[in-house]
Amino acid sequence: VISYPSTPTRGRNDAPRESETDVIVIGSGFGGSVAALRFAQAGHSVRVLERGTWVTRDRNQVNLDAFWWPERGRFGPNDLRTRGQTILPWLGACVGGGSHVYAGTLKRDLDFGAFPAAIRDDDLDPYYTVAETMMGVRPYPDYAPYDRVRATQLMLRAGRVLHESYPDEVEEVGPVPLGISFAPASGTAKPSDPFINPHGARQHYSDPREQSLLGGDIGAKNSLDLNYLYLAERAGARIETLVEADRLERVDGRFRVYARRYLPPRTWAERLRNRALLRPVPTELVCFVARRVVVAAGSIGSTELLLRNRDLYKTLPNLGPMLGSRYSTNGNSLSLLLPGRQYVGSWIALLISVIAALVGFATVAVIAFVVHAIALYASKDRAYDPDLGTTNSDFIRLRGRDGKRQGGYIEGGRYPTPGRLVLAVVLSLLGWWRPERYRRLISLTVAVRRFVPPLELLARSWPIPLLQLGRDDAWGRFVLDERGRASIAFDLDANREYYDWIDDWGRKVARSVGMGWAHAPWSRWWRRVEVPHSIGGVPMGESIENGVVDHAGRVFGVDDLFVLDGSILTEPPGPNPALTILALAERAMTHILSAR
């Protein structure tokens, strides 16, 4: 907790320097980017405070620098820190927020039952259309080289089989809508070629041989810095990076926003100390003043910030009692498709070979190794290489347990496979990592695998991640500790019926393509869910009794304070939430700007 001057006034020695604009937007993710652009286009001076920094392809790292750990000088885009006993949120911490770490899936929500009455089912349609156009949404391509990705082919096949087998329960299957730029089907442009997007920003086309999580999609994914924020800056908005907002207070009809600005190490000595994780980076206290503030720090960030200001600093005492409630994971869980069934014999022979070698039975070891290789190559199958292609390319949409549409989704996922990940980390430690080098790592590892059967066996057996999501049953509640850090109380057992249901669909996907299925080990043994889709905490409502903000993100009880991000969603949407956050923010901005 920062100790603030008791009554900060302009010109006091111990008070930070102030700078004033019409609007301050805290956070540059989906909600914040819409607010920044629309306010700037309406002629307001806008300052965006973002705790992270710009994500660029040449600065991308595959080491600790990929993570958000500011106390130790790590300012990477992936914030992965547990919040309480059961929840491990995965958040974006950079200019563009979640749009740099997300998979690019942009789906519409079809049901707004728990939203305030002002938002009807077709009310968001025009805003969805605006958001889709801004983000350049299109379905995953059905032409080469994109349709050659084996893990994509597998999941599309699973979708077709399940749709035929369960026509009443499987609502829709196929290529997923994505905010990613793919090379056109015809013409001379190829994957990884550069182009200028409709907003004027430089991008390049997605290349399925570059691993997304290792930076392969930077510039190919239509992240917010290439559309909303790009245009906002051109309309005059200013983005302050490495600035983490902490305290908001209202003085004389204006908001003061106090923040810590991280000062990354400048000297070599400082850099080395930080590298060794020995010393926190220095910060300075900064203060920004504006008539209006948009809090858009995401479900976790916004809820924590507002709770801290209501309960710890007591600067926003009027925030409603629902603050911190209705946290949802959007039914997120990870499971694994296990392709190795036909290789059980080969694995057993390899195991015997290793044990025999260890205890000195050389002949047995050699014979078992030969059996292992023959059993492996007898199968004509190839590795699925679940690191190739975009993080998500396909979906299977399920009717809910209550019969409602969009009750659940199963999507194929991608992640770096272990051999290539290790090589990428080594390259990064040597300072030689570039996302495009992944293509060479693929050629190298495929060549090595050809001559080393155990590596080929490992590659062919390597699990393919399944992303499971949907309208679940459990709600979490944020709890603030005395240092102002929020954790989430979330009862996994209250969600058991939902998990059993969605896991059952995971098993059906596996059976439909003749594979095995398993829980992600950490969710079963560590009893934690890894949550990319955190929502809620600052729910919309009809009044302060049942919500913190109204249908347009206006905070009940505090004029000129708005919240526009995933925290205001009042129920798990079912589909991935980013497009709904954009559409809600677009709608809210229309209301906010037309009211003044």
Ligand X SMILES: Cc1cc2nc3c(=O)[nH]c(=O)nc-3n(C[C@H](O)[C@H](O)[C@H](O)COP(=O)(O)OP(=O)(O)OC[C@H]3O[C@@H](n4cnc5c(N)ncnc54)[C@H](O)[C@@H]3O)c2cc1C
Kindly tell me which of 383 and 584 has the beta carbon lying closer to ligand X.
584
Residue 166 engages ligand X in binding (rule: CB under 6 A): no
d(CA 535, CA 572): 7
d(CA 502, CA 334): 10
To the nearest whole angstrom, how small is the minimum distance from the Cβ of residue 368 to ligand X?
A: 41
Four-CA torsion 59, 61, 67, 72, nearest 10 degrees: -80
Q: Which amino acid is at 259?
A: A
Buried b (16+ CB within 10 A) or exposed e, 401-422: beeebbbbbbbbbbbbbebbbe
To the nearest whole angstrom, how small is the minimum distance from the Cβ of residue 536 to ligand X?
A: 10
Q: Please report, as residue ranges, which positions from 493 to 532 form the binding site for ligand X (by CB under 6 A).
A: 532
To the nearest whole angstrom, how small is the minimum distance from the Cβ of residue 345 to ligand X?
A: 36
Residue 453 engages ligand X in binding (rule: CB under 6 A): no
Residue 549 engages ligand X in binding (rule: CB under 6 A): no
Residue 361 engages ligand X in binding (rule: CB under 6 A): no
d(CA 541, CA 588): 14
**Segment interacting with ligand X, rule: CB under 6 A, options 101-109, 366-374, 426-434, 479-487:** 101-109
Taking residues 102 to 141 in sequence order and writing x for each that binds ligand X by CB under 6 A, - otherwise, the string is: xxxx------------------------------------
Residue 566 engages ligand X in binding (rule: CB under 6 A): yes
The only residue of 101, 149, 306, 316 in contact with ligand X, by rule CB under 6 A: 101
**Segment interacting with ligand X, rule: CB under 6 A, options 86-94, 111-119, 277-285, 449-457:** 86-94
Residue 191 engages ligand X in binding (rule: CB under 6 A): no
Task: Specify whether the CB–CB gap between 281 and 274 falls below 8 A.
Answer: yes
**Segment interacting with ligand X, rule: CB under 6 A, options 90-98, 187-195, 377-385, 432-440:** 90-98
- Tokens (6 digits) for 12: 């006091």
Residue 27 engages ligand X in binding (rule: CB under 6 A): yes
Q: Minimal CA–CA distance to 544: which of 328, 317, 329, 327? A: 317
d(CA 46, CA 25): 7
Kindly tell me which of 392 and 417 has the beta carbon lying closer to ligand X.
392
Q: What ranges in 117-184 are assigned the alpha helix state H? A: 125-135, 150-165
How far, in Å, are 250, 259, 265 from residue 17 at the CA level?
17, 11, 22
Residue 54 engages ligand X in binding (rule: CB under 6 A): no
d(CA 592, CA 595): 5
Residue 225 engages ligand X in binding (rule: CB under 6 A): no
Q: 531: which strand partners? A: 89
d(CA 555, CA 562): 5
d(CA 12, CA 29): 34
Return phi, psi of residue 39, to 5°.
-65, -45
Residue 470 engages ligand X in binding (rule: CB under 6 A): no
Give the torsion sign (CA, 433, 437, 442, 443). Answer: negative
Residue 245 engages ligand X in binding (rule: CB under 6 A): yes
Residue 296 engages ligand X in binding (rule: CB under 6 A): yes
**Segment interacting with ligand X, rule: CB under 6 A, options 22-30, 141-149, 189-197, 337-345:** 22-30
Residue 91 engages ligand X in binding (rule: CB under 6 A): yes
**Segment interacting with ligand X, rule: CB under 6 A, options 202-210, 338-346, 508-516, 571-579:** 571-579
Task: Specify whether the CB–CB gap between 146 and 389 falls below 8 A.
Answer: yes
For residue 523, give the 3-state DSSP assignment.
Answer: helix
Residue 533 engages ligand X in binding (rule: CB under 6 A): yes
Kindly tell me which of 565 and 586 has the beta carbon lying closer to ligand X.
565
Rg (alpha carbons) of the chain, rounded to whole number:
25
What is the number of other CB atoms lying within 10 angstroms of the CB of residue 20? 14
Kindly tell me which of 261 and 405 has the beta carbon lying closer to ligand X.
261
Residue 149 engages ligand X in binding (rule: CB under 6 A): no
To the nearest whole angstrom, how small is the minimum distance from the Cβ of residue 172 to ligand X?
A: 17
To the nearest whole angstrom, how small is the minimum distance from the Cβ of residue 104 to ligand X?
A: 5
Residue 536 engages ligand X in binding (rule: CB under 6 A): no
Q: Minimal CA–CA distance to 429: which of 65, 63, 68? A: 63
The only residue of 242, 248, 297, 502 in contact with ligand X, by rule CB under 6 A: 297
**Segment interacting with ligand X, rule: CB under 6 A, options 58-66, 400-408, 480-488, 577-585:** 577-585
Residues listed for the chain? 596
The only residue of 578, 583, 584, 592 in contact with ligand X, by rule CB under 6 A: 578
Interface residue list for ligand X (CB under 6 A): 26-31, 49-52, 90-94, 97-98, 101-105, 244-245, 296-299, 301, 305, 392, 532-533, 565-566, 576-579, 581
